[in-house]
Every structure is written in structure tokens, then in C-alpha cells.
Amino acid sequence: MARLSILIVVLLGSCAPFPEIFRRNAFQIPERPREVEGRLTDPVRPDAQLAALWVGHATVLVQMGDRQILTDPVFVHRVGQLSPRIVEPGLLLEHVPAIDACLISHMHFDHLSLSSLDLLEARIGHLFVPGGALVYVPRRTHAVDSLESWESFTVGDDLRVTAVPVDHEGYRYGLDAAWMDRSFTGYVVEHAGMTVYFGGDTAYDQELFEATRRRVGPIDLALLPIGPIRPRDFMERTHVDADEAVRAFLDLDAKHMIPIHYGTFLHGLDTAEGPLLALREAMARHGVPEERVRVLAIGEQVVLR
């Protein structure tokens, strides 16, 4: 019964159909995740105003001047007990710097990793979660705030975090879907004249992306998911595909995009490389030059300003 409960949690939390995800995860003999060579040991760049390091999946370390932001930190090797990591985290826990703002987009196991938060607790200054989500975040020593759409909070006197609307799901266990109906969000972070957008997980909704652009103005960097893609008739309700991610990037009128949420865990029926190949095709189709979409390897850091 316990194993069945865990399986149901993973299936619901990963937003993938039961038979396929069961075959891919429950019966798969997991191999060791691929090692990341040349990891940075000191990711803070004194010479950079805006930099980003992809840790994997939806976890990105963003440097904005003298401030550090961490999105959906997941450093564990399995989510929901069954879904194995394909690639090791691109940054070791001991090399994570002090975090001014840690952003949680929603409650699914591959985005809200309570064990990862436990390991990082001493390094997190302020944790942000969507509205209604505090019930799933145990009491911590650092500050924790929930934000509804368009609500803002200023950390210190110069780091502004705003929750922005996206289209996804907020439950954690499936049965809580009836009352966890608003616990998902994107974020916009503003500091020192720079603006970063983090989309978390979302379906494509042009109106929401354009509303964010109108409200917050120019966006320097958009962190956007590009998977899972397949099976499309199932995934499109909650996840953009690569083409929709490019369209969202254009709707937001952002200067740069970093694709995330692919190639780290088994998701849906995608191959590890499928979303990235689809992204290249979408960029060509929409006339987006390569210098605007910065494709990172896990563990790679890019300086944008």
C-alpha cells in the first residue's frame, strides 16, 4: 500500500500518464546520474552584474549585482522516491553561496524539494512560495512569505520579488487538488535596474505573458521551461512545449532566454535531448537568433551583463 501511494504521488506530481510513466520509472533499473565535469566551486562573479548558472531542471542560480537568487532548488537524486536524476546537480551543495531570495514556483516534488530546503536552510535569507502554499513548508529559521499574483515583497531595500500569473497546477499529492487550486506562480525579480523572469511550470497563455510584460516593463532574462512535450495532448494543459516557450519569450519581450526543465529527470515521454532539438527548430521558425537564447549545459554559467 505504501509503495502504491508513493507511485500515485509521483504520477500526479510529474503530470504524466499512468502507464507510460510507470514503465519508465517503476521498472527501470536506475544508473548513476551522469557526472558534471568542471563544476564551479565559487559561482559568485565579482565582475558580473547579471549571471546565471543552470544547476539542472528548474534550479538556476541567478546573480544580480551583489544579490543571489535560487529558483526551485532540487539537489536530490530522486524526486518522489521513484524518478531518478539523469545528470548530477551542476553545483554542489557546499558551493551554493548565501541566497538572498529562494523562489518556489509550485508544490510538485520536482520543484518543492523539502529535503533540499533542509540542506540549504542556513544559506537562505528569504523563501518565497505561492499563495496558499505555506501549509507545505515546515517552520524554518529564515523568513518565509507567500505571494499571490501581482503581490510584491522587497528584500532589504533593493531586491523586489513579484509573483506573476502562470497557468499550471498547485497540488502536491493529487487528492489536495480540490483546495490547492492557486498554489502555483511565476516570479519577476528586480534589482539594480535589472529584471529577471522565472516561469516555473506553465501552459501557454499569451494574455498572461503579455500582461506581465506590460506590468513590469523590460525583462533582461527569462528562465522558461521547454518540456515535457510528449504526449502533447496531455501535456499542453500544464506545460509549454519548445515552440510555445519561444512564443512566450517573444510575448514577454525579453532580451535573453535560458531554457530549463529538460534533460535532468525523466518527464513524460520525452527523450533527454528532444526538447532541446525542438527548441532549435522553434528558434529558426520564429526568427530568434542564437545570441538571444543562451542554451546552457548543466553546471554552466553565463554572464549576460
Domain encompassing residue 259: 2-303
Q: How many domains does the chain have?
A: 1
Output the nine-digit C-alpha cell for 34.
Answer: 551522469
Are the beta carbons of 80 and 109 closer than 8 angstroms? yes
Q: What pLDDT is attached to residue 270?
A: 76
Q: What pLDDT is attached to residue 182?
A: 83
Question: Residue 231 is part of a domain; what is its CATH number?
Answer: 3.60.15.10
Give the three-state DSSP class for 183.
Answer: coil
CA distance 236 to 233: 6
H helix runs in the chain, sequence order: 2-13, 18-21, 114-120, 206-216, 232-235, 242-252, 274-286
Helices H, strands E: what count in the chain?
7, 15
Sequence length of the chain is 305
Q: What pLDDT is attached to residue 20?
A: 62
Could you report the per-residue pLDDT of 255-274, keeping only the tens digit for each?
999 999 999 987 777 777 88
Are the beta carbons of 50 and 190 closer than 8 angstroms? no
The per-residue DSSP string of 46-57 comes to TT-SEEEEEEET
Measured from the Cβ of residue 176, the count of other Cβ atoms closer than 10 Å reads: 16
Low-confidence ranges of the chain (pLDDT < 50): 1-16, 29
